[in-house]
Amino acid sequence: MSTWYPKKGRVIFHVDMNSFYASVEIARNPELKGKPLAIAGNPEERKGIVVTSSYEARAKGVKTTMPLWEAKKLCPELLVMRPNFERYREASREIFQILADITPYVQPVSIDEGYMDITECSQLGTPLDIAQQIQNTIFERLQLPCSIGIAPNKFLAKMASDMKKPMGITVLRKRDISLKLWPLDIEEMYGVGAKTAEKLRAINIKTIGDLATGDVMQLKGLLGINGERLQNRANGQDNRAVDPDAVSEFKSIGNSATLPQDTTDETEITSMLRNLSQKVADRMDRKQVISKNIQVMIRYADRRTITRSKQLPEFVEKVDEIYHYAVKLWDENWNQEPIRLLGVTAQSFIEKQQAGMQLNLFTYEDEVKKEPLYSAIDELTEKYGANPFKQVKETNQNNVTTSYQKDFLDDYKKK
């Protein structure tokens, strides 16, 4: 038992639900079991894109992000269902409650995956015992399959959970990475998107092992600080803690400043907005997040204060992007009276590393009606990596809460 629970190290799980949305529908209707199933929008009109599919559909070549018409061409017998948003959310709540019954150190990262730190759970058995218990409990209660990675840190646990699906349990120790991790193609490494993989292949880095043993200065020159970070991960180094409060750590990043004197000088005002946008961009970069909502605060000479925000059509992270929307908001809402204070705030975050793997599930039905969605998908995939379709966002007319903000991910704590 002591070898499983080292005195100085950690024991981390990554629990990843298998084909989650399709699995939830199959659990509700067992007649779907064993059949090729896809979750997609507008199935009656053959429009939209595949959000997820059962393993039977995947065996026929059906893939996430694939246009529905193409999926039907590959698999004429494909069954297509619209997503049921609340059903998936409720299943997620129950899953994370099961994990929380094992340990308080649970960090959801999306609706269907999360990390656990079980270092202090030796009284429950070996990590393999606990993983099997979790897997069995989720399946017995909810009829949902999951894969679990067991490792000394979050990165290796994430990689391990992908190694055997569905219903797999994989242990990945640091001493095993040269055999289990390094032979994998560079594209299979978590955090390496298509664009990054292309750059790495251009310098003859074709496998994770090549990255692990590559020239760090060359990597930093090619990818900046992320080059060194990726190499550390390839060598099994990841000091990030499992943080149960990470989902609510911050909802916004903002800066404000008082002008030297009340002014209507547009040059001075826009210069201030630029400086504030730079500070916000710098803080976002440090936290490795991108934003889909920009807010501007305007305080007039008589101390009247207004705040105006805009939900953006795409994620932003660069100063020019933040400044563009900040100036637009200011221009649309300034009443030409002297201004005393200005503020710029970014909201609605998603982790930059996750950006290439998230689907705005709860609004995608509207978006698939718009042709620009497909080019946006391509752009996201190119910029951030493969599969931009995993995490979800929920929207209603009265109250917008999103998984990018991660508000709903701690719902299981409220039961």
330-386 tens-digit pLDDT: 999 999 999 999 999 998 888 776 654 444 443 444 444 444 454 455 455 544 444
Bridge partner residues of 50 (DSSP):
40
Flag whether 239 is in a domain. no
Q: Judge if 254 and 352 occupy the same domain.
A: yes
> What integer is the mean pLDDT of 214-221?
96
Q: Residues 172-204: pLDDT tens digits?
A: 999 999 999 999 999 999 999 888 999 999 999
Q: Tell whether 273 and 376 lie within a shared domain.
A: yes
Residue 207 and residue 266 in one domain: no
Reported as a pLDDT band with limits 50, 70 and 90, residue 15 is very high
On whether the pTM is more than 0.75, the answer is no
What is the model's pLDDT at position 314?
Answer: 84
**Do 129 and 265 reside in the same domain of the chain?**
no
- For residue 104, cis peptide bond before it (omega within 30 degrees of 0): no
Q: Any bridge partners for residue 347, and if so which? A: 252, 293
CATH number of the domain where residue 100 is located: 3.30.70.270
Residue 272 has a CB neighbour count (10 Å cut-off) of 24
- Is 16 annotated as ligand-binding? yes
Instruction: Clarify whether residues 267 and 402 are in a common domain.
Output: yes
Q: Is 243 annotated as a binding residue?
A: no
pLDDT at 349: 85
Q: Are residues 100 and 153 in the same domain?
A: yes
Is 113 noted as a catalytic residue in this protein? yes
Other CB atoms within 10 Å distance of the CB of residue 309: 17
With beta carbons less than 8 A apart as the criterion, state whether 189 and 205 touch. Answer: no
**Could you tell me the CATH number of the domain that includes residue 339?**
3.30.1490.100
What is the predicted pLDDT for the residue at 392? 36
pLDDT, tens digit, for every residue of 138-150? 999 999 999 999 9
C-alpha distances (whole Å) from 26 to each of 67, 133, 218 are 22, 22, 48
110 and 161 in one domain? Answer: yes
Range of the domain at 140: 1-181
Indicate if the alpha-carbon torsion angle 126, 119, 410, 279 is positive or negative: negative
What sign does the dihedral 93-96-100-101 (CA atoms) show?
positive
State how far the Cα of 79 lies from the Cα of 92, in Å rounded to an integer: 23
Average pLDDT value for the chain? 85
Q: What's residue 303's pLDDT?
A: 83
* Amino acid letter, residue 238: D
Of 25, 113, 187, 317, the catalytic one is 113
Residues 275 and 132 in one domain: no
Q: What's phi and psi for 264, nearest 5 deg?
A: -120, 10
334 in the same domain as 296: yes
pLDDT of residue 36: 97
Counted domains in the chain: 3
Tokens of 311: 């939900």
Gap between the Cα atoms of 279 and 283, Å rounded: 6
Does 71 reside within a domain? yes
How far apart, in whole angstroms, are the C-alpha atoms of residue 62 and residue 412? 33
Average of per-residue pLDDT across 17-46: 87
Residue 229 has pLDDT above 80, yes or no: yes
Strands 37-40, 79-81: pairing is parallel
Cβ atoms of residues 173 and 205 within 8 Å: no
